[in-house]
Structure 1
Amino acid sequence: MSEATISDVTVPLARWIAGLTPDAVPERVRTRATHLLLDGVGCALVGAQLPWSRVATGAVLDLEGAGDAVVVGTGRTTSGPAAVLLNSTFGKGFELDDFHPVAPLHSASLVLPVLLATAQHQGGASGAQALTAAVAAFEVGPRVGMALHGSQMLSRGWHSGPVFGTHAAAVAAGRLRGLDAERMEDALGLAGTQSAGLMAAQYEAMSKRMQHGFAARGGYYAAALAAAGYTGIKQVFDRPYGGYLAVFREGHDPDPRQIIAGLGEAWHTELIAVKSYAAQGGLHGTIQAVLELRAEYAVDPATVERVDIRVGHTVYHHGWWTPERPLTAVGAQMNLGYAAAVALLDGTVMPPQFTEERLDADDVWQLLGRVRVHLDEAVQRAPVHERFATDLTLTLRDGTELCRRVVQPHGGPLDPVTNEEIVAKYRTLVGPLMPTTRLDAVQRAVLGLDGLSDIGELGELLAGPVAGTLDRNGTVR
């Protein structure tokens, strides 16, 4: 190793990406990848109809104008980069999208928009090519995140997904463009220099929905520039001065080996978690614990004197601050106290729990005032897959304490959401928005991606407007 590098992972990674073949990916991984993409499609179609997405669409199309790239669920088209930005923003529109439990990023919202726009720009790409590109991207994003110890980035205030996500997007676009290892290395370097994202967006900013879109657009550009011969940073993960890991390492010690650990053997595609609730992933343990106690003991929220939630660093810093009335929808979807309150009161945490009326409801805020969140150092010292663990105690007015520990919520590696559940989620979310014939056709196209002669067929199915729009209540109008 030369003095100019601190590791040797960038080139091996680029070679693996460029050399990945469909036959090298186990069938179960390919099947899971199609279901992750279906979940991404459902989230994007729903997200496209939300009021803040309408604001984003108007602003971006005013800047970019018309083009040939599909803006999902709107009947509009625009330039490739603008479509990537918007479609990714739609995928993040209502906190229903996937997340990686160890290296937090939202993969489908990065990968799906890039696949659609790149294929359109290239004049077509087969479904088999797109699926292999998706798997490569699903593998690379988390590995880059794990090299930075994943959730530590959230604890330090970075929006981890946009920090890791540029690489996932660049890989998806680069694979469809057929970049060789040298050009893929350029694309990774061009992606790394665009990585950023501030987690303070979580409190009230619409831009929280768009930050993965910035990363997706950055990766899309990175691959296109590399394909044209525009060179990027070489050995971007290895350089000690100004390299990706060297710069983002401040405050902790990165582990470059994670970037190539288990390539082609251990598949992160199978670890990506699919959400069951419309809230950030770190809140799911609290939601599940509340719902389990509520069901098991028939808890009357009026009898609850106190709610105590114990979590580790990442969930605490990302998910807890003393809320002020009223919260915005995005703030509520990030806040442990709000999630616990509406789960206990309503028995679920889905779009109707984030209406303007519910966000400012007296019963919610009365219960919120009885929530206490505690930082538990023991969780932080636990094995990496247990760092989203939650200990929850409901203290009733008669002194009874009801306790529940959730090491991993449903969706985590120990209890994954099944492919059948993903299909059911897609149909529940999207069913009210379009005729069953179109709903079925989209599902067949995504789950049968391997058999599509051109992924543009999927783009055409997603292009048209849906039957209605969603109001702030998540209700079709």
Structure 2
Amino acid sequence: MSTIAEELAAWALALRPEDVPEPVRAAALRHLLDAVGNAFAGARAGAADAAVRTAGAMGPGDALVLGGRSRVSRHAAALANGVLIHALDFDDTHAGGLVHASAPVVPVVLAEGGAVSGAEAVTALVIGLETICRLGAAAPHAFHAVGLHATEACGVFAAALTAARLRGLTVTETVQALGVAGSRAGGLLEFLNTGSSTKQLHPGFAASDGLTAAALASAGATGPATVFEGEYGLYRALARRDADRAAILGGLGERWEAARITVKPYPACQLMHAQLDAAREARALGVPLDRVAEITVRAHPDAAKIVCGPGKETPRTSYDAKFSLPWSVAAMLTDGEVTIGTYRRIERPELRALAAKVRTEVVDFPGVAADQPGRVLVRLDSGETVAGEVGRSGGGPDDPAIDALVRAKALANLGPGGEAVVDAILSLADAASPAALISALENHEL
């Protein structure tokens, strides 16, 4: 029997642009647009300055760093752009795999796609998105449960497979690239206990390391073909379970997880988006803030471990606040919105006071945490209650307003003149090459 790596490699190299269904292609372009908009917003906010400066110090090259005109090596650009896309925690999430799908993959397409057609670049993007979603969904929350960020743990393989496709590697070389990439899988979540922002770097590491793995394989480096299911492979070593071959490979090319990715309406952890939507619903019904006695918020057990708990009501840093359900719910109830600007002022006393009244009710909802329902119950000092409730967070693939949401979000993140970038992205599949897109990105001012 072929290994999982061998099956993935054979599928990725054989996939033709015409094999990709139109809704999947459209979804991929939607996520490319969302990722690019997030990168420009991150650059404008200075949220990835350390990565951008570091990429520049690695020396010149032919790959563009988003948000500017500097050209650096492809590996350096992949690092910087992966961090830029993820820096504000505004980038997409696949609920089943709890992975940020675009951030480790888009930088590879931008760095390596210059010599291929637009249709081929989009196909490579689809391959990467599909791969990271399937790898993550094969072990729901298992990486997070042991303190690892699934985006980096799975993203490095998606980046390597994307790079292998764009570089024209053979199936044998691509299997080696995946084997090499396995030694770079990781991404510690210890930042949750300190308020530091190392998580911002994880997609950049995955993108750059995956690209490097493909380059090494093309130069003759070898890696284990059993990198996924082996005794010391990804799942047994980092997720403490056997690889689920059926979940990774089942329906490959027929069932598309790349079309099941959620776009974030809020620049915060996906594990509290349903609660933010519910808080917005409650606020719309009328919540007199000066009379709030208690706020009860329901949360999935896997979500509660990350966004709830002692001390979450007083975040230590702006980045820490993005993983605080109490503080973010308080912001929604107070302001009626949660935006990039929300997390610039975490010291607001009225938000901290309201956040201290939030109580988490852990409910073992069926399904994965990122697809949980949301319910917020506000109890007033009179005993009256105001409730907000949603079946799931907005921005999901079944959201009828998803295209409008992505376009509006991207234009807001890109700023004035963003229409040219939007048009270049949405027409990429029909373009002779990504050159027009790269030109539009390079000429777009922050």
**TM-score of the superposition, structure 1-length normalised?**
0.88
Hey, what's the Cα distance between the residues in 2 that align with 1:191 and 1:455?
26
What SS does the aligned partner of 1:108 have?
A: coil
* 2:300 aligned partner: 312
Hey, what's the Cα distance between the residues in 1 that align with 2:302 and 2:429?
38
* 2:273 aligned partner: 284
**Residues 73 and 464 of structure 1 are in contact (CA less than 8 Å); yes or no, is this contact kept in structure 2?**
no
**Residues 155 and 313 of structure 1 are in contact (CA less than 8 Å); yes or no, is this contact kept in structure 2?**
no
**Residues 386 and 407 of structure 1 are in contact (CA less than 8 Å); yes or no, is this contact kept in structure 2?**
no
Equivalent of 1:359, from 333, 346, 353? 346
1:406 matched to 2:396: no
* 1:395 aligned partner: 379
* 1:47 aligned partner: 42
Deviation digits for residues 51-102 of structure 1, max 9, x if unmatched? 332233223423x122221111122121111111001100012111111111
Deviation digits for residues 353-408 of structure 1, max 9, x if unmatched? 111xx3101111110110112332x22xx134885333322111111223344332
* 1:248 aligned partner: 238
* 1:23 aligned partner: 18
Could you say if the C-alpha distance between residues 54 and 383 of structure 1 is closer, same or farther in structure 2, counting changes exceeding 3 Å? Answer: closer
Equivalent of 1:222, from 213, 217, 233? 213
1:430 matched to 2:419: no
Letter in 1 for 2:40: L
1:448 matched to 2:415: no
1:267 matched to 2:246: no
Q: Which moved more, 1:184-193 or 1:38-47?
A: 184-193
Deviation digits for residues 7-37 of structure 1, max 9, x if unmatched? 8433222211111111111111111111110
**CA shift at 1:332, angstroms?**
0.4
Deviation digits for residues 416-450 of structure 1, max 9, x if unmatched? 6522221111112212xx4x2xx222111110111
Could you say if the C-alpha distance between residues 74 and 206 of structure 1 is closer, same or farther in structure 2, counting changes exceeding 3 Å? Answer: farther
**Residues 75 and 465 of structure 1 are in contact (CA less than 8 Å); yes or no, is this contact kept in structure 2?**
no
* 1:95 aligned partner: 89
Identity %: 32
* 2:168 aligned partner: 178
Hey, what's the Cα distance between the residues in 2 that align with 1:12 and 1:57?
36
**TM-score of the superposition, structure 2-length normalised?**
0.94
**Residues 32 and 419 of structure 1 are in contact (CA less than 8 Å); yes or no, is this contact kept in structure 2?**
no
* 1:236 aligned partner: 227
* 2:107 aligned partner: 113
Equivalent of 2:159, from 153, 163, 169? 169
* 1:470 aligned partner: none
**Residues 159 and 196 of structure 1 are in contact (CA less than 8 Å); yes or no, is this contact kept in structure 2?**
yes
Deviation digits for residues 309-330 of structure 1, max 9, x if unmatched? 2212221112123236453111
**Residues 105 and 155 of structure 2 are in contact (CA less than 8 Å); yes or no, is this contact kept in structure 1?**
no
Letter in 2 for 1:370: K
Query: Where does the alignment leave 5 or more consecutive residues of structure 2 unmatched?
Result: none
* 1:213 aligned partner: 204
**Residues 187 and 199 of structure 2 are in contact (CA less than 8 Å); yes or no, is this contact kept in structure 1?**
no
Task: State the aligned residue count.
Answer: 444
What SS does the aligned partner of 1:306 have?
A: strand
**Residues 442 and 462 of structure 1 are in contact (CA less than 8 Å); yes or no, is this contact kept in structure 2?**
yes
* 1:462 aligned partner: 441
Equivalent of 1:204, from 195, 217, 223? 195
